[in-house]
Structure 1
């Protein structure tokens, strides 16, 4: 079955989907690290999450 989306659009959607999954995983890991009292790991993961979500925050109004 052929797609109605152009290859560039499919690639863009795939990247967005992968980033969304990565964001959810990072948020879950942050919660687990905080629950375990590992503030160093939680902070490192928060920084990684900030880097991942920074481009999206620029476009929110």
Structure 2
């Protein structure tokens, strides 16, 4: 929710395997990107040689 009362929804996230969590780097329906968070205690681990799920922060094409 924005100061002017408008809302947007999360378009890209951590994917189904990660409960579709919004992350720094997630995009919203209005084109905004999440650039920071007040939360400081979550960690997702990417392992070398193991691809992230196809739906993990997918690229959005304009």
TM-score > 0.5, shorter chain as reference: no
TM-score (norm 2): 0.27
TM-score (norm 1): 0.27
Structure number with greater CO (CA < 8 Å, separation at least 6) is 2
> Which structure has the larger Rg over C-alpha atoms?
1
Structure 1 or 2: larger helix share? 1
